[in-house]
Amino acid sequence: MFRSTSRWLVFTLLAGALAFGATAFGQAEPKSGGVLRVAITGDPPTLDPHTSTAVIVLEVTSHIAENLYARNADGQVQPMLAASLPQVSADGLTYTIAIREGVPFQDGQILDADDVVASLDRWRRIGIGKSYLAGAEITAANPHTVVLKLTEPVGVLTSVLGWTEGAAVIYPASLVESAGDAPIDAPVGTGPYRLKEWRKGQDVTLVRFTDYVGQETEPSGDAGRKNAYLDEIRFIVVPDSATRQAGLESGEYDVNYRAAASDLELINSSSSMYSWMMKPGYNYIAVINHASPLMQNLEVRRALQAAIDVYPLALGAFGDDDVFALTSSIVPREYGAMFNDQAGAELYDIGDTALAKSILAASGYDGTPIRWLTSRDYDYQYRGTLIAVDQTSKVGFNGEIIVRDWATTVQIRSDPTKWDIFIGNFTIAPEPEMIPYLGSKYLNHYEGSAAYQDAMKRLERTTDVADRQQVWAEAQQAFYEDVGAIQLVNAFLLNAYSSKVHVQARYFLFQAWNTWKE
């Protein structure tokens, strides 16, 4: 017996926090044509979301490839390439997903169930899908129906299939077969724009996919109709934030992707530009590489945690405290009250040099350099790293800063032998199981204490809302006690637009569909 379900949980987002749908900047009517020039911070390491969780990857390729599901502006999961929300068996082990008919890929092939099976199998083999579909049987019941048979319930599966970071995008089965496990750097998808050219280190150019067949519902967040008003989108690599901002002011660029927070007042005071703050934004944290022998010492991690003084670090990193919020909750308030919890708050933002020295003295730390990996391509990551190294050096740590361009930084992060700590921004999902750095299969290799593992396993099997709140509070407390990472702030990253650019509807990530220029 099957029942229809969108999920077992409906997000209760705070009013206005994600109210980006159906919002236009200015009163101009949509018009077709033109080139949108987006100055981005660095070259994408790949154009394949199956193999990377880097935000720049998904923000470029979301225009090219699509998921089975997407979220609207209220955070609710809606069909995208799926024809409807899944039918889920009473025991939660079988998902039956109907696939939309007549949807073309950019190479002329027509989407069917075999494409979905091949893509999901690849995603669970080489991407974050291994955390959700490992051991699952993925089959095509007929040309337009896919069946997922799980070995145990995964309460967030529908949600994950519509998530953006490390996205389960759907490729043609022929492309999956030819690419194998290697990154797909010439992706073919069903999205409103197709890849024209990627000149590595210079730019990525997308052009309108004239045969695009999308949803007909009203645009809302990532869901609904995607109008490809623009002829072309150019993502231009401009690592220096001052150069991006100067180019926006001169008219060389239409969008300053990741504007410096220190420019917020200037942008807002200008009639030729406007700002857009991404909320709920990201967790700006110090990710600890638990595969590093040095970082496996709990007392070393506790000393680092005690040494960090969060507010001056964040202010120095971002330059304006309007663009971040101090919070001990891993899931921010913009996602509602369910998982916005203060468990472990006593271990957040300690900033106690004497305490840190005492813990470090008892840790057995022998002065081995702690390798802090960073990139100037994201200036707030670089500046925050410099401040963290200064703060921790005052308690006796020996810090080594490794500075690379962004693509190389991403490569180094994938090698657990080459770094110890990385301060960066990580997309926050509305449910804890979907936050990559909370699990062992992410780049930080975090297994967690026995208490943490127990709580997370119980959370995965728990569907009752009140029970999930309580279990997550236990898990977050254990995460702090084990120093799984060092929570810093919830950062509202800033994009700046020319006043000639209008956006009809958006979510919390950059997107250029439903966007036009005067």
pLDDT at 216: 93
Domain ranges of the chain: 2-276+494-517, 282-491
pLDDT at 15: 33
Helix axes 450-461, 465-482, angle to 10 degrees: 160
Per-residue pLDDT of the chain (518 residues; tens, 9 = 90+): 333 333 333 333 333 333 333 334 444 789 999 999 999 998 999 999 999 988 899 899 999 999 999 988 777 889 999 999 999 998 889 999 999 999 999 999 999 999 999 999 999 999 989 888 989 999 999 999 999 999 988 878 998 899 888 899 999 999 999 999 999 999 999 999 999 999 999 999 999 999 999 999 999 888 999 999 999 999 999 999 899 999 999 999 999 998 988 899 999 999 999 999 887 778 899 999 999 999 999 999 999 999 999 999 999 999 888 889 999 999 887 766 678 788 999 999 999 999 999 999 999 999 999 999 999 988 899 999 999 999 999 999 999 999 999 889 999 999 999 999 999 988 777 788 888 888 887 889 999 999 999 999 888 877 677 888 899 999 999 999 999 999 999 988 889 999 999 998 777 788 999 999 99
Identify each DSSP E strand in 238-291 by its residue range.
255-256, 273-277, 282-288
- How many angstroms separate the CA atoms of 220 and 197, rounded? 29
Number of continuous H segments (helices) and E segments (strands) in the chain: 14, 22
CATH number 3.60.20.40 is the correct assignment for the domain at 282-491: no
CA distance 65 to 194: 8
What's the whole-model pTM score?
Answer: 0.76
Q: What pLDDT does residue 337 have?
A: 64
Neighbours of 130 (CB within 10 A): 14
pLDDT score at 390 = 98
CA 446, 451, 454, 458 torsion-angle sign: negative
pLDDT for 294 equals 97
CATH class of 2-276+494-517: alpha beta
Q: How many residues would you count in the chain?
A: 518
Find the DSSP H helices in 65-182: 113-126, 130-133, 157-161, 173-179
Query: Among candidates 427, 448, 450, 502, which has minimal Cα distance to 128?
Result: 427
CB distance 440 to 479 below 8 Å: no
Alpha carbon of 427 to those of 139, 412, 512: distances in Å?
A: 31, 20, 19
- Give the 3-state DSSP-derived string for 115-143, with helices as H, strands as E and coil as C: HHHHHHHHHHHHCCCHHHHCCCEEEEEEC
Which SS3 state, helix, strand or coil, does residue 223 take?
A: strand
